[in-house]
Amino acid sequence: MDFTLSEEARAMATAVADLLADHCPSKALRALLARGESFDAGRWARLVAMGLPGALLPEAVGGLGLAGTAFAPIAEACGAALLPEPLVETAWVTLPLLVEAGAGEFVARVLAGEATVAIVHPLAPLALAARQAAAIVLVEEDRILLAPAATARLTPRRSIDPFRDLALVAAGAGTATLAAGAAARAMAGRAAARGALAAAAQMLGLGRRALDLAVAFARTREQFGRPIGSYQAVKHHLASAAVAIELARPVVHAAAALAPGAGPATAARIAHAKLAAGRAAEGAARAAIQVHGAMGHSWEVDVHLILKRTLALATTWGTAADLRATAAAHLLAALPGPAALFPEESADG
């Protein structure tokens, strides 16, 4: 499997990272939070202008036609920037589902920047940024609905992450059924796989951001006349975090190259990717807090925000228990039985 990024994909990921560095710095996020908001319309317009909500859609419907491997670094950049707007979920989960369900007219509105859309799924039961959405996709057990946000009942729910504006959604008048039965269940399964990949890629970016903050602090913070980064105890913490992130990255990128819903082997690899990315990101965030010492527990230092986003993503689109069960089911089913391991000897001896 070759998931090497093309020069074009690298350039796009760099451009997104640069845009977020300019328009999604920590200062801007904290100002947004001080106003009691979690969605910046100006920033979203810039993301739309780059075509990012439709990054994974075919060019025939107005998308950019990127592969999952090309979008994964973009999702990493969004995670590293603590982007509060649901770009990754929209691009990797919601719009592909709507295209698959035949809701092309509404997709065109989102790509044009005229509307946003949220999603509710059994593995992501609270809608993200539903207050700004024009419609909400409701994935139920055996049907997929598109509910106008204006008639839906939204019940706010608090998240551990202050930048995640969550709501419980009850559909209202004008709700349309996009798919039902076996077709809806298949679409829901593919959406769940894409959601796990979206969370995994963002957590890679979160882990890298936590590590960068910790390394920068360790280089300048002094104790006993020396930078704390010169002490082996600190070096080992940061080295372990860096190794975990670098080992998780190819797992995530390889899973992003697969077609969601292709079978139990693909489901197991996607589950492994989210598990590996979550473990690496949480480990890096906790190491960064420890390296910062008492400052790491303060509101002023961003590492606590990274840990909170990581914990929120780790329990969305499949908990660790769900993911381990998925991986274990495939491994156990793939194990050869005793007849294959110890074939009976032939009659000829």
Question: Where do the domains of the chain lie?
Answer: 189-333
What b/e sequence results for 156-184 when a residue is b if at least 16 CB atoms lie within 10 Å of its CB, and e otherwise? Answer: eeebebbbbbbbebebeeebeebbeeeeb
- This prediction has a pTM of 0.92
Residue 218 confidence (pLDDT): 85
Q: What is the CATH number of domain 189-333?
A: 1.20.140.10
Residue 97's nearest CA partner among 113, 117, 79 is 117
**How confident is the model over 294-323, as pLDDT tens digits?**
888 888 889 999 999 999 999 999 999 999
**How confident is the model over 213-260, as pLDDT tens digits?**
999 988 877 677 787 766 677 788 889 999 999 999 999 999 999 888
Single-letter amino acid code for the residue at 99:
V
Place of tokens 């039965």: 181
